[in-house]
Amino acid sequence: MQVTSAFFSEDPERLINAARRACSSPNEEFIRPRAGVAQCRLLMDPEATAAVILQFDGVIEDLPQLVISLSSARAGDGHVVSGCAFVKVPQRNGQVLRVVQEDRKIQLKLSQMLDAVGGKPVRDVPEEFAERCYSL
């Protein structure tokens, strides 16, 4: 799983609030699917949406969304914040498929964002931290 993480000595709520403010366009939705996870879910352009529906057997009644996710968890005397991106594709059987593409550009953008707000890069991210990032 492609996850970019950073350590913060302070509670990352300021970062989460900044993400909430940034996720404010009409085609965007900010949600907190579980404790410690914040996501901006974006509708994609019509061509990308159609391609994802066809390629991954999605449905038109519940359109796929690009998800930018941040998760945070206590770690020692601070918090580890992990960022990831994936496409959420609702399926005909009611389940949801997560499509993750390894993309160096996305990883670099997440890393730059976490660095810009004072995070110290974390190279070895515990598996449970990475899994939280991909919550639905």
What domain count does the chain have?
Answer: 1
CATH number at residue 47: 3.30.310
In this predicted model, what pLDDT tens digit does every residue of 56-97 receive, in sequence order? 999 999 999 999 999 999 888 999 999 999 999 999 999 999
- Identify the band that residue 39 occupies on the pLDDT scale cut at 50, 70 and 90: very high
**Which own/partner contact pairs does 114-120 have at CB distance under 8 Å and 24+ positions apart?**
114/4, 114/5, 114/6, 114/15, 114/81, 114/83, 115/6, 117/14, 117/15, 117/18, 118/8, 118/10, 119/6, 119/7, 119/8, 119/81, 120/6, 120/7, 120/8
Percent of the chain with pLDDT over 90: 62
- Domain with 68 in it: 4-133
Model confidence, pTM: 0.90
